[in-house]
Amino acid sequence: MSAIVGHEAIVRELRSFAASDDPPHALLLAGPEGCGRGLLALEYARLLNCEAAASPGPSLPLPSLPCGVCRSCRLIAEGAHPDVIHLGPGDTLCRPRAGEGSHELHPDSRDIRICQVRGLIELAARYPFEARYRMVVIDPADRLGRDASHTILKTLEEPPGHTVFALVTAAPEMIIETVRSRCRRIDVHPVSRSEIEAGLIALGIDAAVAARAAAECHGLPGRAIAFAADPALMGDRDRLIARCARVAAGRVPARLAHAGELAEAWRRERSVVLRALDAWEAFWEERLRAAAVAPGPLDAAGPVAALRAVAQARADLQAQVQARPALELMLLTFPPVTLDADPEEEPTGHA
Ligand SMILES: [Zn+2]
Ligand SMILES: [Zn+2]
């Protein structure tokens, strides 16, 4: 699935970048996972390399680029272009230092290491196989270790003309300032529900499924597409949010127990915890909306502080802060919740 849902303004901007004489050689695409950051990086690669844009003579008008049908466009969309490189934690591109005695592979490493950046720099110095512009997508870029960040800096400063970089991240503040400042930053925001619904329908998804997925995806088209592919995930989400409500209404011991469970899950399967954090976010956003429509008894400050706590926990986990204290802090920052105070459940008309 390669269609971008929403983000029209960003695509227009990328189009004008690609058509300029000196396209930005490094983008920083910042936004939550599932919002379309990776697809926008690939769109930039397609725009830079589309044969319809390059051909001398009459080329397509700007708004119809990329053409989507030329060899380059197709290969990129299929994830098969030899000059589109993905770099993330693991051992892709690992190049031990010359003369280094033993360097074990590290497929499960949690950060992007200096040896990988070394490999990347070597690669960037070579000409692409067939692209005009090789695209290197670094995702998540906030996992660049400290040494790795300093090593990549020079390449970002003086990039080889035929390589562009897209740094993808949900936590831009975790990337060192010197790296960030060398990138053109693009903030990728959540997409409106109606745009996502229309986008899913345009992708051929059943209208009823599209409506439900759009309603539950939190403005994240990637998640909506996952929901549409496996609607059972949506029920999972309802269940998780119901659990949030129970934990939030509980007292300190229940909250700490929940933090412990999540910390334990974090060691085994991170996605479980990330889904739980999504559910917490949804839970507090719902309460924030409730506070907005019924000012008075419900205060917005509590949900706002809670949402900050969720974002902080997410950033801490990504920064490899110890999971248990980070999650405990989050749970203890949450304001007390009385489930009965939910205005939607209160009888009306007896003021
Ligand atoms: Zn094309
Ligand atoms: Zn290595």
- What is the predicted pLDDT for the residue at 350? 40
Q: Which residues contact 226 (CB under 8 A, 6 or more apart)?
A: 34, 233
The Å distance, Cα 13 to ligand 1 centre, comes to: 18
- 237 vs 241, residue with greater confidence: 241
Cβ atoms of residues 51 and 67 within 8 Å: yes
CA-nearest of 12, 37, 19 to 27 is 37
Helix intervals (H) in 71-176 = 71-77, 114-125, 146-157
Closest ligand to Cα 53: 1
Q: What's the average model confidence in pLDDT over 240-258?
A: 93
Q: What's the average model confidence in pLDDT over 266-278?
A: 88
Instruction: Give the tens place of pLDDT for each residue, 153-190.
Output: 999 998 888 999 999 998 888 899 999 999 999 999 99
The Å distance, Cα 147 to ligand 2 centre, comes to: 13
Look at residue 57 and tell me whether its pLDDT is greater than 50: yes
The domain 8-187 is placed in CATH, from the list 3.40.50.300, 3.40.50.2300, 3.30.2350.10, 3.40.50.1370, at 3.40.50.300
Cβ atoms of residues 62 and 19 within 8 Å: yes
The Å distance, Cα 219 to ligand 1 centre, comes to: 29
> What is the Cα–Cα distance from 296 to 1, expressed in whole angstroms?
45
The Å distance, Cα 149 to ligand 2 centre, comes to: 15
> Within 10 Å of residue 138's Cβ, how many Cβ atoms?
28
Instruction: Give the tens place of pLDDT for each residue, 101-136.
Output: 889 888 888 889 999 999 999 999 999 999 999 999
Closest ligand to Cα 96: 2
The Å distance, Cα 278 to ligand 2 centre, comes to: 32
Instruction: Give the tens place of pLDDT for each residue, 20-52.
Output: 999 999 999 999 888 999 999 999 999 999 998
- 319 vs 280, residue with greater confidence: 280
Q: What's the average model confidence in pLDDT over 281-287?
A: 86
Sign of CA dihedral 34, 35, 40, 41: negative
CA-nearest of 121, 184, 126, 113 to 153 is 121
- What is the predicted pLDDT for the residue at 1? 41
- Least confident span in 112-126, 187-201, 265-279: 265-279
Q: What's the average model confidence in pLDDT over 333-337?
A: 92
List 185's β-bridge partners, or say none: 28
- What is the predicted pLDDT for the residue at 184? 97
Closest ligand to Cα 115: 2
- What is the predicted pLDDT for the residue at 277? 93
Closest ligand to Cα 114: 2
Global pTM value: 0.74
- What is the predicted pLDDT for the residue at 6? 94
Amino acid making up residue 214: A
Q: Which residues contact 107 (CB under 8 A, 6 or more apart)?
A: 90, 91
- What is the predicted pLDDT for the residue at 189? 94
- What is the predicted pLDDT for the residue at 20? 92
The Å distance, Cα 319 to ligand 1 centre, comes to: 38
**Ion ligand 1 — residues with CB < 5 Å:** 50, 52, 66-67, 70, 73
